[in-house]
Amino acid sequence: MTPQRRCESIRSLDKHCSLFESMAKPIEPPTLRAKLLVKGKVQGVGYRAYATRVASQRGLCGGVRNLDDGRVELEIEGPKDQILILINDLKIGPPASRVAAVEVEWNPATGRFSDFQIWY
């Protein structure tokens, strides 16, 4: 085999190896954004602290705030499956809360959040 042929074979092998390496990488779920409005007895009961704790445990980013009308608003970004689990947790809430409803609005993620915070 000539040196030129050997190089062509190596380049061809490199292409195949990089193809297999990219196929072996785990597929990350797409990141989405969810805006949640939580209704019920959700202010003055530790709901924002609870939401922050469970969202952080799920690796989600965004924030939570009280609204003037008595609701709590969350903006969350992360994998949809983790957001759905969080929504189920938020329907339960901390012991003193009474959640009446959780409204969800889905959008593409913006990437503007790096952690989860309580907003004032």
At 18 the pLDDT is: 53
- What is the arithmetic mean of pLDDT over 81-87? 98
Please say if the pLDDT value at position 48 is more than 70.
yes
Which residue range is the domain that position 59 belongs to? 31-118
- Give the integer Cα–Cα distance in Å for 83 and 50: 15
End-to-end CA gap in the chain: 72
- What is the arithmetic mean of pLDDT over 95-109? 98
The pTM assigned to this predicted structure is: 0.77
At 30 the pLDDT is: 81
42 lies in a domain? Answer: yes
98 lies in a domain? Answer: yes
Is 112 annotated as catalytic? no
79 lies in a domain? Answer: yes
At 28 the pLDDT is: 66
CATH code for position 102: 3.30.70.100
58 is written with which tokens? 């799920």
Catalytic residue among 53, 58, 65, 66: 66
Please say if the pLDDT value at position 110 is more than 60.
yes
In the chain, the number of structural domains is 1
Do residues 43 and 66 make contact, with C-beta atoms less than 8 angstroms apart?
A: yes
- Give the integer Cα–Cα distance in Å for 99 and 74: 14
Is 48 annotated as catalytic? yes
